[in-house]
Amino acid sequence: MYIDTHAHLNYEDKYGDIPSLLSSLRAAGVDAVVNAGWNYASSLLAANMAKEEPMLYFAAGVHPSNLADLAQGDYGRIAGLLSSPKGVAVEEIGLDYHYGGADKEAQKRAFCEQLELADALSLPVVIHSRDAAEDTLRILKDNRAKLARGGVMHCFSGSPETAKEYLKLGLYISFAGPVTFKNARRADEAAKAVPADRLLAETDSPYLAPEPFRGTLNTPENVALVYAKLAALRGEETQALAERIEKNARTLFYKMNDEKRENGHGKV
């Protein structure tokens, strides 16, 4: 019933028995999870987990806050990982100016390099933007030609006006636990305004657990709460919204459909 389009189950020190966790997810109605890397090592782990678990897909890339991990040849190694039928996106890329001392120029270079990588691989991008909306939007506009396979603004918490600017670039908008928070007025308004065919949902596990579990270890099981809040905000039935988001996810992450066909599950 549910797809969690962005989680980090590759945090080995936060999740214990992954098969048991995935069994709980299936029982809760979670059909698929996109497991996101933040550097080469975490991307490799996500790729290996996807080999073992049918419900897991993965994305690979270097997060703007992890550029110190970037070694020569990592982009080539990431490209190699993404040759897998279960490698669905270049992520998690973008800009993060939240913490003092951020090397903004290095982040911008890495963002542009990974947009080029995604374009070369014909894959969508998943974009992180924190306290960097102006530069994020400018870089995306400057690199619009590299967004042929689309992308998503993950864990969106901005205004409807900002969401509209990303929508003009053909991007999807994804909401996570913060949309359930009591002070999430901007995100609530944006969630109402995003067209049905551009909407996604995620948990960003292990971070940002939704209400009423805020402050605890997040898991993809909680994505049901994000779906429920989005449905309530939009005046829709949760089941119908879940079906729409699944269609959106499989449109953006098109290799999910290829992988299902290769494994004999028929046409999606």
Which residues, including other chains, have CB under 8 Å from residue 169's CB and lie 6 or more apart? Answer: 140, 141, 144, 147
What stretch of H or E contains 160?
Answer: helix 160-168
The pLDDT mean for the chain works out to: 94
pLDDT recorded at residue 267 = 35
Does the global pTM surpass 0.75? yes
Q: Give the mean model confidence (pLDDT) for residues 185-214.
A: 96
**pLDDT exceeding 90 applies to what percent of the chain?**
91
Q: Give the integer Cα–Cα distance in Å for 264 and 169.
A: 35
Q: Give the integer Cα–Cα distance in Å for 187 and 158.
A: 6
Q: Give the mean model confidence (pLDDT) for residues 83-104.
A: 94
- State the CATH architecture for 2-262: Alpha-Beta Barrel (3.20)
User: What is the residue extent of each domain of the chain?
Assistant: 2-262
Q: Please say whether the beta carbons of 205 and 9 come within 8 A.
A: yes
3-class DSSP assignment, residue 33 = strand
